[in-house]
Every structure is written in C-alpha cells, then in structure tokens.
A and B are shown apart, each in its own frame.
Chain A
Amino acid sequence: MTIAHIEGRGLPLRGDDIDTDRIMPARFLVSVSFEGLERHLFIDDRATNPAHPFSDDRYAGASILVVNANFGCGSSREHAPQGLVRRGIRAIVGESFSEIFQGNAAMLGMPCFAASGAEVERLQRRIEENPATSLRLDVRTGAVEAGDLRITAALPPARRDAFLSGQWNPTAMLLDRFEEVRAIAARLPYVRGF
C-alpha cells in the first residue's frame, strides 16, 4: 500500500519528551496481543487531567496527532504506536521524535513528519482554535495544510520513499534474495567459527 497523502482532523498534544511509558504504561504490556491497546493510551495522564486532548470530545475521530519535541522517547515498546494506530491515528506531525518510536511507527504505516518548533506550535494553536479544521499532509513534499495555514515538514528521505513506493513494511524485501544474507553470515568469523 502506498502512502502519499494523509487527510483528517488534528489532535494537538502539547509537551516535550513524552515517553512511551506515558503513552502506554507497562501494566498494559502484560498481554500476548496488541488488541484493545487504544483504550489505554495516556490512561494515567487522562486520570489526573480531565482536559487531556485524548479525552476531549472535540478531537474524537481525529487522525493526525500533533506533538512537540522528542515524542516517544524511552522504551522501545511497539505497544505505544500500536495503540495510536488502533485509535485511528494515521500520521504524526511534531518537532522531533525518538529514533526507535519513529521506526516502529513507520513499520505500521504511520509517518512521523518533523517541522520546526514554531511551526508545530502554530499548527497546534490552529487546531485548538478550530478542531474541525481539516489537515492535509503530503508525504512527497512534506507540506502540511490546515485551512489557510501551510507549514513545511519533512520525513527522513529513505522513509519518505518507502511510504511513496509502498515499501514501508520491509519483511518481504528482507526475505527476498536470502542467499545474500547467507553469504554475509558465512563471511563473519563469529558465525563461521574463529
């Protein structure tokens, strides 16, 4: 499946360094499946803050999350992006993302667009002022449109190309030409035997 454009309403979530323990607390990892994880997103933050954007009806059905810096830091738990995808989030726009989170999100077909802190802030404010605003993200150019607001974001080039060509889930590619994998393994002394 190629991913070239994402359209939908936005969900602004403010704060830097939001870690994956906050997105999906560890007690919800005690399971052998990812099913139902969307119910537990930010559950502890929501309990102490009734106005949390994930509890706010104005953002129900929103599909584009807009965050600040270093989103998804900490634990590599894929349960965090799995929960977001299962809630209907299709893409994230933010100032920056943790390496592992961004990779996990890409594997699920959820691109993470990076923009400047000031532009993210403008986008968040726009959505807060009018939650009905329709957003349109262009994977090729990185353009993010929200009504008459237009900001420029970017994806890492290889990731961008993978979304555009439908190759964001790499398993089939990794299994293709498996003889080359065997050849590399046979050259490594610790595999071959010292």
Chain B
Amino acid sequence: MATLFQKVWDAHAVRTLPSGQTQLFVGLHLIHEVTTPQAFDMLRQNGWRVAFPDRTFGTIDHIVPTLTRARPFLDVMAEEMTASLERNCRDFGVNLWKLDAEEQGIVHVIGPELGLTQPGMTIACGDSHTSTHGAMGAIAFGIGTSQVRDVLASQCLSLDPLNVRRIDVSGTLRPGVFAKDVILTIIRRLGVQGGVGYAYEYGGTTIDGMTIDERMTVCNMSIEGGARVGYVNPDDTTFRYLRGRPFAPAGAAFDRAVSWWRQQASDPNASYDDRVHFDANDIEPTVTWGINPGQSVGVTEPIEGDAGDEAFAFMGFEPGARVAGTKIDVAFIGSCTNGRLSDLEAAADIVRGRRVAKHVQALVVPGSQAVRRAAEASGLHEVFIDAGFEWRGPGCSMCLGMNPDRLQGRQVCASSSNRNFKGRQGSPTGRTLLMSPAMVAAAAIAGEIVDVRQMLEPVSA
C-alpha cells in the first residue's frame, strides 16, 4: 500500500545516520561543468576517490556557446570550466561526453535519451531541474555542490524523507494546449512554495495519455512549484520508450527489468499526504506575466494581482491587462523543459510556411546532439531557417544566459524555458514570458504574444 516514492526510498535507504537523517544510495549521478569543480577540489583535498565511477556520467551543457564550439572558447572562464571537468573526469575515471561527442546535450535531455534514466532509480545532479527524470518513474533530486561532493565520495545523500502529494489531471487537452500549459496551471494554483516538503506524483487520464517527452516537461517544473521531486508512475509508455536505448537492458534482461519496474509503481490503494485534482478541459494556453513561474494567466484572461506587487512594475503590466498583444523582441525555443524533438515538431507545425516578424530575433536551440540530428534528418531545421529562425547548437543557452546567448537591456522574450526570475536570461532588466514551444513560435511570427489557437491551421502553399 505504498507509493513509488516510499518504495524507492526504502530500497535505497542505507541506514539512519546519527544525525537522524537517512543515508540514501544514489543509483545514478549526473554531473556537468557548473556545479562540480569545487566538489572535485574537495575530493582532492581529502584524498577521496569517486566511490562508483561507473554510476557517474558527465556532460557539458550550461556554458556551451551555440554559434560555434571552436576551442578554446572566447570566454576564458567558460573554457577553464570545461577544461576542469575534462581533467576531473579523466583523473577520477568518470564517463564524460565532451563537446564533440554525439551523446552531448543538456544533462536532463540526454539521461532519458540514452536510457540511463530508468524507473525505480534514485538520481542526483547538481541542478534543480533534475526532477525531470521523474517522468520515467525515478526519484530524482537536485542538489548543491557540497552534496555533489558527498555523492562523488560516497554515492550517498543525507536527506529527510518527503511527503507525497498526488496530482490528478483528467480529461483531454484541447487543441493548442500542451504539457507546458498543464504544469504552469498546476504551479499557478498550488503556488511556487506549495510543494515545499513534498514529492509530486502526477497521474490521472491526462498524464496517462502523455508521451514521455510531455511527462518530462511536467516533472521538470516541479521545482518551480517548490517540490524538489516530481514523478509519474512507470507504465507501458515508459517501457516502450526505454526499449532499445543504449543504456537500457536488452533481450531477456529487458523483460525482467519491466517486471521489476512495474512493481515500483504506486499501489492502487496507496495513501497520500495530500491530493489535488485538475480538469484538462479547464486549461488553456498559459503565459507567465510576472517574475516567478506561479504568476501566469490564460492567454485570454485578464491578469489578476495586487498592483503593488513588484512584478507589475518590473514587467510593465497592470492588473486587468492581458498578455496577448505584448510586443516581443526575442523568441527562444529550447531548454531542459522544452528542447526535445517533439517540442521542436510542435513549434515547426506553427512555423511552417510563415515568417518571423522583422523586429524579432528567434532562436531554436535543440536539447542535445541527438535532438539536433533527428530534427535535421526530418528537415525541421529548414522549416525554422526558412521562416527566419536561427538554428543553433545544443546547450542550455538563453534559459539562463551562462553562455553568450543573453537578453539585452529590457528586451521581452517569449521563452519555452522554465524560469522568469528577474535577470534570469542574462540581462538584469530583461523580461521573460514563459509558454509552450508552440506559443513561442506563434509569438515569433506575430511579433507579439498571441493565442496559438489562431494559427493551428496549416498555411496553404
């Protein structure tokens, strides 16, 4: 009568530490260049080795330039970070997909793509969007650098257990409404701190009907609702996704794995610490208007809120206004939230046969080399390029502006990323409106925020 969270927690609990916290074994540790250099330094200072190098995988994503990958990078510090991760992985015997590797990409895109992320696992990564991996039925924790050090040295974390909130979404999403709109709506209703102390278990017919890519978009933004962990119970969709991936079990082992994976799912009569319900029919294309991901609104609705909230002054909206009609300067399609092939396909469906507005800089940044290859194989890149988008190399890019892709001044960006915090996209005064990739595409073409449902019909040639 247990939830997946409880089963996975119990299977990985080593012992109760003298401090009272639980020592939890981490089945998969994903690392990248930003949050690990200091952790490896601490290992060296203490003479520690990496405890389970074969359960540790690295990639380079946050600081990667997307126009040219020529080394050394123009940014000397970015070059030093990259060289540092290369040296650390070599010295400690850790797998690293370097910039020229065909597996390289955003850490939360490549984990599932390679079949590293599997149901019933515990996963840790020095990045808050590690919750993404919960889409496969894993329990995945975003951690800080001191905890990265702990996982490198011991393959364990010291943690307190979380409560579990079941979030049911039922019914069919209407045309033009996507997984991004579902999670933005959930965060809007439950609040940006509503999930503190909870793992979010997403279920119900809407989630059941989603692809793994869509479930990843939902789980990815759990942390924006305050929940460190979000997950979906593994099912046939999960198993179909995993079959044949490089790190997934093969042959008879795959069938044995499926049987174990099934057992990790929450029992039908599991008890939850809290339950909430959403109706898919009530959800419309959703856009953030403020400076945290809970400040969102349906594209046809007026913005509600207290005029004294600093978000209004910063963003230039007023209570009662609508987001539709807001002129944009930049359109960004990408990130660990919405940088997968299906996201690019949804955007391309809107873009095909249309042109980006003259005043808009529009970027498509695939989530990984594999996403880029697949998109180029089906000609998606030409759809974007023909329309006036820039087709870039994979990385985190303008989600957080740690590479050269940054907003300038008070530019307004329609973005498929995950955070609209002040300064998030690299300009202290830059303004971010979060929305689905299709809505970003529609905004790029119209030059302003529009309801994507006006553009669902293909343009006739």
Q: Could you list which residues of chain A lie within 8 angstroms of chain B, going by C-beta atoms?
A: 15, 17, 19, 21-22, 25-27, 29-34, 44-45, 47-48, 69-70, 73-78, 81-82, 96-100, 103-104, 107-108, 156-159, 161-162, 165, 167-171, 173-175, 177-178, 180-181, 184-185, 187-191, 193-194
- CA A167 – CA B226 in complex, angstroms? 26
- CA A30 – CA B226 in complex, angstroms? 26
Q: Which residue of A lies closest to B122 (CB)?
A: A188
- Are B226 and A98 in contact, CB atoms less than 8 angstroms apart? yes
Taking CB atoms, residues of chain B closer than 8 Å to A73 are 192-193, 226, 292
> Interface digits, B201-244 against A, CB 8 Å rule (1 contact, 0 not)?
00000000000000000000001101010000000000000000
Q: Which residue in B149, B154, B193 is a CB contact (below 8 Å) of A181?
A: B154
Q: Could you list which residues of chain B lie within 8 angstroms of chain A, going by C-beta atoms?
A: 11-15, 17-21, 23, 25, 27, 34-35, 37-38, 41, 46, 48, 51-52, 55, 62-63, 75, 77-78, 80-81, 84, 118, 120-121, 126-128, 142-147, 149-150, 153-160, 192-193, 196-197, 223-224, 226, 228, 249, 253-254, 256-257, 260, 292, 310, 400-402, 419, 421-424, 426, 428-429
Taking CB atoms, residues of chain B closer than 8 Å to A167 are 17-19
How distant is B425 from chain A, measured CB to nearest CB, in Å? 9
How distant is A171 from chain B, measured CB to nearest CB, in Å? 5
Taking CB atoms, residues of chain A closer than 8 Å to B192 are 17, 70, 73
- Are A76 and B14 in contact, CB atoms less than 8 angstroms apart? no
Q: Which residue of B lies closest to A33 (CB)?
A: B38
Q: Which residue in B153, B223, B426 is a CB contact (below 8 Å) of A175?
A: B153
Taking CB atoms, residues of chain A closer than 8 Å to B253 are 193-194
Q: Which residue, of B12, B253, B423, has the highest number of chain A Cβ atoms within 10 A?
A: B423
Taking CB atoms, residues of chain B closer than 8 Å to A159 are 21, 160
Q: A27-B401, A47-B428 are in contact. Are A162 and B257 (CB under 8 A)?
A: no
Q: Which residue of A lies closest to B156 (CB)?
A: A174
Q: Which residue in B52, B160, B256 is a CB contact (below 8 Å) of A156?
A: B160
How distant is B35 from chain A, measured CB to nearest CB, in Å? 7
- Are B118 and A190 in contact, CB atoms less than 8 angstroms apart? yes
- Are A17 and B422 in contact, CB atoms less than 8 angstroms apart? no
- CA A100 – CA B153 in complex, angstroms? 20
Q: Which residue in B25, B41, B159, B292 is a CB contact (below 8 Å) of A184?
A: B25
- Are B21 and A17 in contact, CB atoms less than 8 angstroms apart? no
- Are A190 and B160 in contact, CB atoms less than 8 angstroms apart? no
Taking CB atoms, residues of chain B closer than 8 Å to A190 are 27, 118, 120-121, 257, 260
- CA A170 – CA B160 in complex, angstroms? 13
How distant is B335 from chain A, measured CB to nearest CB, in Å? 13
Taking CB atoms, residues of chain A closer than 8 Å to B144 are 76-78, 81, 100, 103-104, 107
- CA A180 – CA B15 in complex, angstroms? 8
Q: List 20 A-B contacts (CB under 8 A).
A: A17-B292, A19-B419, A21-B421, A22-B422, A48-B428, A69-B193, A73-B193, A73-B226, A75-B127, A77-B34, A100-B128, A159-B21, A161-B19, A167-B17, A167-B18, A168-B19, A170-B23, A178-B51, A184-B14, A185-B52
- CA A176 – CA B145 in complex, angstroms? 21
- CA A161 – CA B20 in complex, angstroms? 7
- Are B18 and A194 in contact, CB atoms less than 8 angstroms apart? no
- Are B143 and A99 in contact, CB atoms less than 8 angstroms apart? no
- CA A139 – CA B51 in complex, angstroms? 34
- Are A17 and B193 in contact, CB atoms less than 8 angstroms apart? yes
Q: Which residue in B80, B196, B249, B257 is a CB contact (below 8 Å) of A32?
A: B80
How distant is B168 from chain A, measured CB to nearest CB, in Å? 23
Q: A27-B402, A74-B419, A191-B55 are in contact. Are A173 and B19 (CB under 8 A)?
A: yes
How distant is B419 from chain A, measured CB to nearest CB, in Å? 6
- Are B401 and A191 in contact, CB atoms less than 8 angstroms apart? no
- Are B19 and A33 in contact, CB atoms less than 8 angstroms apart? no
- Are B421 and A74 in contact, CB atoms less than 8 angstroms apart? yes
Q: Which residue in A96, A157, A174 is a CB contact (below 8 Å) of B154?
A: A174
Taking CB atoms, residues of chain A closer than 8 Å to B256 are 189, 194
Complex A-B, nearest 3 residue pairs according to Cβ-Cβ distance, in ascending order = A78-B144, A158-B20, A104-B144
- Are A98 and B196 in contact, CB atoms less than 8 angstroms apart? yes
- Are B193 and A76 in contact, CB atoms less than 8 angstroms apart? no
- CA A71 – CA B90 in complex, angstroms? 37
- CA A58 – CA B227 in complex, angstroms? 36
Q: A32-B37, A100-B144, A162-B21 are in contact. Are A22 and B226 (CB under 8 A)?
A: no
How distant is B42 from chain A, measured CB to nearest CB, in Å? 8
Q: Which residue of A lies closest to B88 (CB)?
A: A32
- CA A97 – CA B193 in complex, angstroms? 9
- Are B35 and A76 in contact, CB atoms less than 8 angstroms apart? yes
- Are A180 and B81 in contact, CB atoms less than 8 angstroms apart? no
How distant is A165 from chain B, measured CB to nearest CB, in Å? 7
- CA A10 – CA B153 in complex, angstroms? 36
Taking CB atoms, residues of chain B closer than 8 Å to A78 are 35, 38, 126, 144-146
- Are B419 and A21 in contact, CB atoms less than 8 angstroms apart? yes
Q: Which residue in B55, B84, B196 is a CB contact (below 8 Å) of A96?
A: B196
- CA A59 – CA B341 in complex, angstroms? 51
Q: Beyond the given A44-B423, A73-B193, A189-B257, please list 14 additional residue pairs across the A-B interface where CB-CB is below 8 A.
A: A17-B193, A25-B428, A30-B77, A32-B77, A32-B81, A48-B428, A74-B224, A75-B419, A170-B19, A170-B150, A171-B153, A188-B11, A190-B27, A190-B121
- CA A107 – CA B38 in complex, angstroms? 14
How distant is A117 from chain B, measured CB to nearest CB, in Å? 12
Q: A19-B421, A190-B257, A194-B260 are in contact. Are A76 and B196 (CB under 8 A)?
A: no
How distant is B293 from chain A, measured CB to nearest CB, in Å? 9
